[in-house]
Homo-oligomer: A and B are copies of this chain.
Amino acid sequence: MDWAAAELVTGELRLWLFRGDAQGAAITAPAGDDPAAALRAMLAPGAAIDVIASGWPGSAPVRVPCPPPPPLPALALDPRVTLHALPGLVQDRPADLIGAQATRIAGHLARHPDFDGVLCLPGQQTVWAHLSAGEVVSFRSFLTGELLSALTASMPDGASAGFAEAVQDALSRPAGLAAELSSARARLAMGLTTPPAAHAQMAGLLIGAELAAARPWWLGQPVTVIGHGWLADRYAEALVTQGLAPAMADPTRALLDGFRAARRAL
């Protein structure tokens, strides 16, 4: 391998080794308080290596509208390891900021350079980004995933019964969100519903309220959901209830494509 890519998210460092465009081993480790030390420890002693990093702390973000930004000036972590941090994106009005997700957006554009539409990246912080003419025009992030995790920590997410109905409820009356969430939990405590159904309902309420606020992002737009798993499937299902036919894209592939594009820009 001749270079490496690293993503730092929620205290975890994920490392991929590359030889040219071909991906080699992938390793994950806790980042601790000193991600640079964690990164050095993950790289076996040997030849000098370039590391492209996403979500790296202290990397000044770039203001939209802009094309996916190239890596910031290189930083020598030690005589062997050279770090190339990828900046996040920042927006003035409305004020918004994204870090590591910017690399997935860049990866999607690298694979689909003519993409003109909207990306939805579900997660603890869900991001909607409008792309056109090779640029990120604008974006908006929502704390929906984080709110859902906080409210449903102990509930399994197996079922999706009641999800679509809850999406519609919240889209129709988004102001009732906090009350409807409390009702959902009350029905669970009263034995009127099951934990998976309560989880699906609360997810539907939160995603429906997000869709109400994000309407300018998806209405009449081609939407691609970059994500996999339960939460990404629910975003897609919610968009389908609104008459859209979202495409799905793999988030790891988008991330690695973003790293490869940055590598070519070095």
Q: Which of A's residues lie within 8 Å of B, judged by CB? A: 90, 94-97, 125, 140-144, 146-147, 150-151, 174-179, 181-183, 185-187, 189-190, 192, 206, 209-210, 212-214
Known contacts A178-B206, A178-B209, A213-B179, A186 near B96 by CB under 8 Å: yes
Task: Select one of B90, B150, B178 contacting A142, CB under 8 A.
Answer: B178
Inter-chain CA distance A175–B172, complex, in Å, is 10
Contact A186 B95 (CB under 8 A): yes
Inter-chain CA distance A213–B182, complex, in Å, is 12
Q: Which residues of B contact A125 (CB under 8 A)?
A: 182
Each complex incorporates copies of this chain amounting to: 2
Contact B186 A97 (CB under 8 A): yes
CB of A239 to closest CB in B, whole Å: 16
Inter-chain CA distance A174–B213, complex, in Å, is 9
Task: Select one of B147, B183, B210 contacting A150, CB under 8 A.
Answer: B147
Task: Select one of B141, B179, B206, B214 contacting A94, CB under 8 A.
Answer: B179
Inter-chain CA distance A125–B183, complex, in Å, is 11
Inter-chain CA distance A181–B178, complex, in Å, is 14
Q: Which residues of B contact A214 (CB under 8 A)?
A: 179
- Would you give 9 A-B contacts (Cβ < 8 Å), ordered by A? A90-B190, A94-B183, A125-B182, A141-B179, A142-B179, A143-B178, A143-B182, A146-B151, A147-B147
Q: Which residues of B contact A150 (CB under 8 A)?
A: 146-147, 150-151
Contact B213 A178 (CB under 8 A): yes
CB of A132 to closest CB in B, whole Å: 21
Nearest B residue to A88, CB-CB: B189
CB of A211 to closest CB in B, whole Å: 10
CB of A60 to closest CB in B, whole Å: 10
Contact B178 A175 (CB under 8 A): no
CB of A166 to closest CB in B, whole Å: 13
Q: Which residues of B contact A189 (CB under 8 A)?
A: 97
CB of A217 to closest CB in B, whole Å: 10
Contact A95 B192 (CB under 8 A): yes
Task: Select one of B97, B141, B177, B210 contacting A209, CB under 8 A.
Answer: B177
Contact A190 B147 (CB under 8 A): no
Contact B95 A177 (CB under 8 A): no
